[in-house]
Chains A and B, each alone.
Chain A
Amino acid sequence: MRSRATVPAWVVRLYGRWRKKRTAWFATGICVAVAVLICAPLLMIPGGSLMDGAEMRQILSPILGDGRGFAAWHLIPVYPTIGHFYRLLIESPAFYQLFWNTVGMTAAILLGQLVVGLPSAWAFAAFRFRGRDFLFGLYVVLMLLPFQVMLLPQYIVLQKLHLYNHPAAVILPAVFSTFPVFIMYRGFTQIDAEILEAARLDGAGELQIFFRIGLPLGRMGIQAAMVLSFLEYWNLVEQPMAFLEEQATWPLSLYLPQITISQAGFAFAVAVMVLIPALFVFALGQDALEEGIAYIGVKG
């Protein structure tokens, strides 16, 4: 204490401010480094998709076969070409089929989840009925189970319904997934219960309340559920692998790993086409996405 008394007050103040700033800079530095590390692998993709086949073969030759030396990577290709995109977009009609398979599947699932899931979520949020807590608990458990546990049960039912090897084998179970119900439910619980009470007192019908109050006020939860579902189903792998035998009905996400590394440039071009819609939705739905994840953790 005595030593401090000899230091002018403004020096102490400046030092304190610097110390505070220093911590902030330090924290920012670490977090930026982590964020960059996380995003870095993605930087390989655009370059790879525009890289000439010969250049790619040359830098990847250690992986591709001769077994000596190490592969290198050029973030910006030395001989850029749009040849892979030309081959993919102009010369491969199969690509469009797979692309539209993915789009169709994802769209059908999202639409189905809205039609089926919204009323369910509303039922859990707006009404107290017998067995509600038990049923809701069941929904939560189902949403948390990994797919492999449901693999055999779903196979059995899809066989019984003669849906095996039909796109509906992937779509229908996903439509009745309980995860979006949970997220939308969380969105609905943010609505003040008094508003619903008031509406009921004023003689509004239940349907009216659902459409006029529930849907507009629970918007955030609905958006969050849709963004999370899109990212999940755009990236489907296990379900089509297990239930769809015909390659013509596959989504892109299952087709991409079939391209061997010797055609890496072409694979990167496909990757760009798979990535663009996902990044687009990610960018648009960011707030909803973060909100949705927070819904999972915080007690409603």
Chain B
Amino acid sequence: MFLLPGFSGVMVFYLLPFLEVVRRSFLKSGNSAFVGIENYRTVWGNGAFVLAVRNTFLYMAVGVPLLMGISLILSLLLRNLLLRRRLVSAMLLPMAVPAAVMVLTLQILIDRQGVINGVLTKVSEQMAALPAFAAIDYLNTEWALVVVVCSFLWKNTGYMVILWLAGLAALPKEVEEAAQVDGANRWQNWHYIIRPGLSGSFFTVGMLSVLQIFKSYREVWMVAGSYPQEHIYFLQHLLQNWYLKLEFDRMAALTVIMSLVLLIVCLLLQKRLE
């Protein structure tokens, strides 16, 4: 049987320990007494949890539509270009850049005394018409979320452009050509032909964007550490910090909650992937 070695590993390292965590989420850590849903109640009433949930949703609500929109527009523009391959490669480059390297340059750019603020100040000094510019402390104000969203877009745009382009390539060319012969303009072409044809891709790109939001924690942590500005305190920070404090009972409950939510996203997506 070809599957056996791989599957036994998946059982040992993924499935069985996950079930164990589900079991432990109903127990008190330490004496392993059964406490029912008390751990879940603790999580639910935890201030940090409420904050993290709100931030995570806000991040998603901003990041996902922006990523989808930008990458869709780019892929529509790129579709028939001669330079397409080169440009797609350039947009994909961030995938090859280790997070630590990216963070290094980011620190110099977005510090309160950093390069970006310097350039903006100069520009506003040069142009008298613009209002005076006050240096922004990006990482210690609400702007932190903007930084996080920008780095998310930077990292994932190329990835999503490829997915869109694959969806566009699957559209039958003849329909569009026929419509053009019949005098359809660009807007009609988009509205009646491309948009309905891409509905599957919409879904896939959307779900994968949501999952990438959760995977972007690495960059967030490296830029801002374990206790960042309160607007970018996400669920992953909470899990990581409870892990370091050995608060395993709450952590188990939170793991179960998060995986249930993600499971729904995954199941929706999965119908598409199979």
**Residues of A bordering B, CB below 8 Å:** 24, 27-28, 30-32, 34-36, 38-39, 41-42, 44-45, 48, 60, 62-63, 67-73, 115-117, 119-120, 122-124, 126-127, 133, 135-142, 144-157, 172-173, 175-176, 178, 181, 210, 231, 234-235, 237-238, 242, 252-254, 256-257, 261, 264, 267-268, 271, 274-275, 278-279, 281-282, 286, 289-290, 293-294, 296-300
Contacts and interface: CB of A to CB of B under 8 A. Distances in A.
A141 B6 contact: no
Contact of A231 (B87, B96, B252): B96
A120 B96 CA distance: 27
Contacts, number: 282
A40 to B, nearest CB: 9
Interface in B141-163: 154, 157-159, 162-163
Contact of A282 (B16, B96, B217, B263): B96
A156 B102 contact: no
14 contacts: A30-B77, A38-B94, A42-B93, A45-B104, A63-B114, A71-B114, A127-B2, A138-B15, A142-B10, A146-B262, A148-B239, A152-B255, A153-B14, A172-B13
Interface string B159-170: 100110111001
A126 B1 CA distance: 12
B contact patch SS: helix
Interface of B: 1-3, 5-7, 9-10, 12-18, 20-21, 74, 77-78, 80-83, 87-109, 111, 113-115, 117-118, 121, 135, 154, 157-159, 162-163, 165-167, 170, 200-201, 204-205, 208, 211, 214-215, 217-218, 221-222, 235-236, 239-240, 243, 248, 251-252, 255, 258-259, 262-263, 265-267, 269-270, 272-274
- In the complex, the 5 A-B pairs of residues with the closest C-beta atoms, listed nearest first: A70-B118, A120-B6, A176-B9, A62-B113, A153-B17
B53 to A, nearest CB: 14
Contacts of B90: 35-36, 38-39
A253 B100 contact: yes
A255 to B, nearest CB: 8
A contact patch SS: helix
A71 B118 contact: yes
A108 B214 CA distance: 26
A289 B95 contact: yes
A120 B7 CA distance: 8
A287 to B, nearest CB: 9
A293 B166 CA distance: 9
B162 A293 contact: yes
A71 B113 contact: yes
B3 A297 contact: no
A123 B10 contact: no
Contact of B10 (A178, A231, A237, A298): A178
Given A119-B6, A123-B3, A146-B214, A136 B274 contact: yes
Given A176-B9, A231-B96, A268-B104, A133 B113 contact: no
